[in-house]
Amino acid sequence: MHEETTKTSDNIIVSVSEDRMSALLDVNAIDTDEEMLVAKIQDRMSELKITAPFDRKALQEKISENGGTSEKISGLIIARGNPLTPSVDGHIKWVRDFFSKDWLVVNATGRVDYRERSTSRVLKSGDLAGNMVSPKSGSEGQDVFGKPAIPAKPKPNPYRCGKNVRLDEETGSIYATMDGMLRVTNNTVEIDEVYELDEVGLESGNVHFTGAVVVRNDVGDLFTIQAEGTVDVGGTIGAAQIEAGGDVIVRRGISGAGKGKVVSKGTVSAAYILNTDIEAEENVEAHKEITQCNVRCRGSVNVGGGRIVGGEIVAQGGIEVSQAGSEGNVKTLLVAGEDYKLPDILKSKRAELGKLRGASKKIHDNIDPMMEKIRLLSAKQREAVTELMARASEMDMKIDAIDKEIEGVTGESQKRAGNRIRILRLLNPGVTLRILGVSRHITKEYKGPLTAKLDVEKNIITF
């Protein structure tokens, strides 16, 4: 049974906030004696069964602020619950913000240096990286109805230590055991050995390395970098092929000329990205622009200081951009909430599931008639039946496991979905917005800020 959350009478409206932690007062076009007003408010609160104490002082201060009148009071909090203390999920408290996406600001001039991040991930052997923090349960509160507000159960710490990292079990401290670059992939903390070179070109050839790769200057056209760790480029990337087990960080920009491709198991960040295919397990970030690119990521795309023009941007976690499209009505597709990897993952698992079910059915088709006359079978035949039953049971267990995997990856994908496209300054005609399969083609200019969301009931995209 749900409590009523609004009572209206004599132009006095008492309502309860969505989280049930505040009672709100609205007074429309009424000016009455304070005592009478208080009595009516308390009547409304009583009718709603609000047990939290009435904050008369807040009302008096508001009346005083209004010049002694109670007219046009809106959204005044007149009673509060006792807030719960939220639980703290298990996490790592880093010694510094290793994963900041901010660029270095030169203090003397205030100028932003797009070649340098504000912090470095490089650690020396023995350096403290951070501390494991255990989950901590919160404490109950009480809403305005006097009902308990129960904090969510804290999530266990998902992180674990991998290669070149030592965990002090007593203190929870995480230490580097070699000089290298800190990386976190799939909740595993690792230190990658670092391979440094001036540039990737004719002199270096293609680069294949088991750790992190740091290129001080540029990566030339038609060259390849394959690294199990982060790829950090001080200059630009041309029409090259980059594959990274961690982030791809580019101090200047990426100009793929329609031939370049960057695949990252982390985040891809650059000052600008032009004519390049991008695939990222996490986010894609550009300071100035993303132009004529095909971007696929399972995190968000952020060009909050610039524009996206042309190409297709598919971001499971949503999109934020200052300007979408251009004055020339360049065809641009922005897609939010869709997981570009999920269809292939499900296709593979369902194909495996189909094979197992087919094999299981074949075994059961052979076993079932024999089970009906089990007593007539010889010892050798019964032994064969037993073996077949064991194989069928093993297959059925695999089928159940894959069913659970499908359910798990689908649920995890839905949790990651950010079903919105945020336009900060300007949305141009020629842009098509798509959220969870529903499209809206833009035929006129819209000024920002605005947020495109999916109206599920009407199955349309609204601003």
Interval 353-395: pLDDT, tens: 888 888 888 877 777 777 767 667 677 777 777 787 788 888 8
Same domain, 134 and 58: no
Assigned domain for 312 exists: no
Residues 389-416: pLDDT tens digits?
Answer: 788 888 888 888 888 888 877 777 777 7
Do residues 95 and 185 share a domain?
yes
Residue 256, pLDDT above cutoff 60: yes
The 10 Å Cβ neighbour count of residue 53 is: 11
Indicate the residue among 80, 108, 131 that finishes a domain.
80
pLDDT at 395: 83
The model's confidence at residue 323, banded by pLDDT at 50, 70 and 90, is very high
- Could you tell me the pLDDT band of residue 115, with boundaries at 50, 70 and 90? very low
Question: Is 337 domain-assigned?
Answer: no
Domains in the chain, number: 3
Both 142 and 72 in one domain: the answer is: no
In the predicted structure, residue 73 carries a pLDDT above the cut 70:
yes
Residue 372 located in a structural domain: yes
Q: Which of 60, 80, 100 is the last residue of a domain?
A: 80
User: The dihedral of CA 359, 364, 365, 366: what is its sign?
Assistant: positive
Express each pLDDT in 128-177 by its tens digit: 999 999 999 999 999 999 999 999 999 999 999 999 999 999 999 999 99
My answer on whether 112 and 24 are in the same domain is no
Answer yes or no: is 322 within a domain: no
pLDDT score at 102: 64
- The pLDDT tens digits of the residues spanning 164-220 come to 999 999 999 999 998 888 888 889 999 988 888 899 998 888 988 888 999 999 999
Q: What is the mean pLDDT of residues 322-330?
A: 92
Tell me what pLDDT residue 193 has: 86
Question: What share of the chain has pLDDT > 70, as a percent?
Answer: 91
pTM over 0.85: no
Cα–Cα distance, 320 to 451 (Å, whole number) = 9
**Residue 183 structural domain:** 91-189
Does one domain contain both 72 and 114?
A: no
Q: Let me know whether 43 and 119 are in one domain.
A: no
* pLDDT classification of 105: cutoffs 50, 70, 90: low
In a domain? residue 184: yes
Residue type, 86: P
Residues 10 and 47 in one domain: yes
Residues 55 and 16 in one domain: yes
> Could you tell me if residue 58 is inside a domain?
yes
Other CB atoms within 10 Å distance of the CB of residue 256: 24
Given 46, 80, 114, which residue is the final one in a domain?
A: 80
Which three-class secondary structure string do you get for the chain? CCCCCEEEECCEEEEECCCCCEEEEEECCCCCCHHHHHHHHHHHHHHCCCCCCCCHHHHHHHHHHCCCCCCCEEEEEEEECECCECCECCEEEECCCCCCCCEEEECCCCEEEEEEECCCCEECCCCEEEEEECCECCECEECCCCCEECCCCCCCCCCEECCCEEECCCCCEEEECCCEEEEEECCEEEEECEEEECCECCCCCCEEECCEEEECCCECCCCEEEECCCEEECCCECCCEEEECCCEEECCEEEEEEEEEEEECCCEEEEEEEEEEEEECCCEEEEEEEEEEEEEECCCEEEEEEEEEEEEEEECCCEEEEEECCCCCCCEEEEECCCCCHHHHHHHHHHHHHHHHHHHHHHHHHHHHHHHCHHHCCHHHHHHHHHHHHHHHHHHHHHHHHHHHHHHHHHHHHHHCCCEEEEEEEECCCEEEEECCEEEECCCCEECCEEEEEECCCCEEEC
pLDDT-based confidence at residue 1 (cuts at 50, 70, 90): very low
- Domain membership of residue 86 (yes or no) is no
User: Per-residue pLDDT for 435 more than 70?
Assistant: yes
pLDDT for 143: 95
Mean pLDDT of all residues belonging to the chain: 87
Q: Mean per-residue pLDDT for 337-341?
A: 84
Residues 102 and 29 in one domain: no
**Pair 118, 157 in one domain:** yes
Q: In this structure, is residue 55 part of a structural domain?
A: yes
Same domain, yes or no: 26 and 73 = yes
